[in-house]
Amino acid sequence: MRSVLGPLSIRTRLTLWYSAILLGILTITSALSYSVLRWSLVQDVDASLLTVAQVLHDTGVAGQAEMEAVLREVLGPEFYEKFFRLLDPEGHPEEGPSQRRAQALRLSDTALANAVRGRETFETIRTEDAGDVRLLTMPIGRGRRTQIVQVGMSLNRARSALRRYLDTLVVLIPLGVALAAMGGALIARTALRPVDEMALAARRITAEDLGQRISLRGTGDELDRLAATLNGMLARLAAAFTEMQRFTADAAHELRTPLTALKGGIEVSLRAGRSGEEYRRVLEESLEEVERLIRLAEDLLLLSRSTAGPEAPRGHVDLEPLLLDVFDVGVRLAQGTGVSVRVNDASPAAVSGDALALRRAVLNLVENAVKYTPAGGKVELSLTSGDGQATIAVQDTGIGIGAEDQERIFEPFVRLDAARARETGGTGLGLAIARAIALAHGGTLTLDSEVGAGSRFVLRLPLA
């Protein structure tokens, strides 16, 4: 059926569910009301029979004829709706002028036993002429002699009322469900109209036009919150597309610079015959540019992987030996620069993550500190733990960074001193990679710097 009609819309499903639930509620309610009405009608019949029997008891009738006379006078026209007879204590009916009123009645063993004990009995019996009859059997005291009176009443009128009530329910329940379904469909269409409008607005928004937003109705309801959520998502997508476009342009620019230098050197060397030494110099320069391209490609790949999260399985990483290893590399990098590298504090600490990626992040910080610290300066490393975090700090006495640039330096390809970065072979991705690795491990990388006083990079990671 679904393959023929297609998937049902939310509006249709809401209407169907609403109608089905309402049908169930009305059916259960109707069944309960029918049972209560049936019980009430039987109780009314029992009360009427008990009243007639009590009248006979109070008047002290002595025979069938006298009983009929009393009941005809008391009941009036209702006399002909009742069945009654008198019986002796053994249950034998007494003779009377109107046996028609008694021929439908019978005395059960249970009713006789209860009458002997002085208790009344209500029963429902089946007769040929009158159908179902509600029967009361009750003892009547006459001094030392006790008689038994039986009063009965046909249940046809009550059954007729129940049938009419049932016929009414059979008509009203489907009609009520149909009207409710129409109302539910109208309500669902009205309630879901803003969703259709949001869908149409979302279809008009493309990757080239992410500046559009879904209008808010100002009601503050769930649909307004949905629209606000979608607008927030669009804003993040727009920022991501802008960042991706800027990153692509920056990457293209970074790739073009060494490629242009490589091409220019080769073209110059081919314009005329060169000596072996000149060709060797051109090849060496070309090799430097190729190495720069390789470093740039590797950094781009690492940045992409770090942004997506560590690929290697997370494991237990001891940060103390990792820091000491990076310290050794930093000492070698600082040779001949007049910069001293040392470790102030290295407390044992362990985290969960990728050891190679974390080493690369800390090494990038140390390389950056050594590059931008003038001769005579120093770079200090420290490792501490507390408050559920391991903290690696790399502090230098370099040139420092202004407050307006302290967040920009973590963006890819951002260099505050482009000429010097070119000379040192930097790609402008080191700090971006370090922060991406920190975020992928659930940590943070922050900077506290002052121009002319140095910088302090702080890498915080959750302890294992």
Per the CB < 8 A criterion, the answer to whether 372 and 435 are in contact is no
Name the residue with higher pLDDT: 127 or 381.
381
The string of pLDDT tens digits covering residues 325-361 is: 999 999 998 998 899 999 988 889 999 988 888 998 8
Burial 274-299 (b: 16+ CB within 10 A, else e): eeeeeeeebeebbeebeebbeebeeb
Question: Average pLDDT over the chain, rounded to whole?
Answer: 80
Confidence check: pLDDT of 420 > 60: no
The sign of the torsion formed by the CA atoms of 343, 345, 350, 352 equals: negative
pTM: 0.51
Number of helices (H), then strands (E), belonging to the chain: the values are 11, 11
Spatial CB neighbours of 111, under 8 Å, sequence gap ≥ 6 = 121, 123, 135, 137
What are 464's two structure tokens?
């294992």
In degrees, to the nearest 5, what angle opens at C-alpha 369 toward C-alphas 435 and 356? 45
Instruction: Give dist(CA 171, CA 457) in Å, integer.
Output: 80
What are 85's two structure tokens?
């007879």
Fold of the 313-462 domain? Heat Shock Protein 90 (3.30.565)
Name the residue with higher pLDDT: 96 or 177.
177
Please state the φ and ψ torsions of residue 218, each to the nearest 5 degrees.
85, 10
The string of pLDDT tens digits covering residues 296-305 is: 777 677 667 6
Length of the chain: 464
What are 435's two structure tokens?
């922060």
Confidence check: pLDDT of 313 > 60: no
Mean pLDDT of the region 223-241: 81
Report the SS3 class of residue 401.
coil
Specify the amino acid at residue 242.
Answer: T
How many CB atoms are closer than 10 A to CB 4?
A: 5
Instruction: Give dist(CA 122, CA 382) in Å, integer.
Output: 98
Instruction: Give dist(CA 253, CA 427) in Å, integer.
Output: 11
Confidence check: pLDDT of 209 > 90: no
Instruction: Give dist(CA 164, CA 153) in Å, integer.
Output: 20
Confidence at 380, pLDDT banded by 50, 70, 90: very high
Give first-to-last CA distance, the chain, whole Å: 55
Please state the φ and ψ torsions of residue 90, each to the nearest 5 degrees.
-90, -5
Fold of the 2-160 domain? Beta-Lactamase (3.30.450)
Name the residue with higher pLDDT: 58 or 366.
366
Per the CB < 8 A criterion, the answer to whether 156 and 126 are in contact is no
Confidence at 447, pLDDT banded by 50, 70, 90: very high
Spatial CB neighbours of 428, under 8 Å, sequence gap ≥ 6 = 250, 254, 412, 413, 414, 415, 421
Counting beta carbons within 10 angstroms of the beta carbon of residue 361, is it exposed (0 to 12), middle (13 to 18) or buried (19 or more)?
Answer: buried
